[in-house]
Amino acid sequence: MDYKEVNAVCQPGDDVASRDWYAWNNKMPPGPARLIVTGIVTVGNPGVEPMLVIANPQGINPSHLLLNIFLCQKPGKWPSVVVDKPVRLEQHSNPMYTHVDIVGGPSIEIFDAH
């Protein structure tokens, strides 16, 4: 297996392959309500960790939360193997948002979980 020495770095993952996106407001007690966004991101080696970050500035639609994907490479030697990694964002829920838009990816409707 081919291994590659890499340095730690985080960079935007605007064109990264992704799938299985879900977004929901978790309103289960004891509260407060939390917005949870999850998905699967395809990365170039097992040492890359995908991360969701709230975009700044936000888009023009105030009911859509805009998120960026960042790919953070851990330092060290990693095999050159394409792998799928889960990504998750969790924050206080905002009832203003009806959708989550992933930059370079899908628009996801937010569901309420009671």
Render pLDDT for 33-88 as a digit per residue (tens, 0 to 9): 899 999 999 999 999 999 999 999 998 999 999 999 999 999 999 999 999 999 99
Dist CA 87 CA 106 (whole Å): 14
Q: What is the pTM (predicted TM-score) of this model? A: 0.89
CA angle 14, 20, 24 (to 5 degrees): 100
Residue 70: per-residue pLDDT: 96
pLDDT reading at 1 higher than 80: no
- The answer to whether 111 touches 35, Cβ cutoff 8 Å, is no
Residue among 86, 68, 56, 82 nearest 14 (CA): 68
- Count of beta carbons in the 10 Å neighbourhood of residue 106: 13
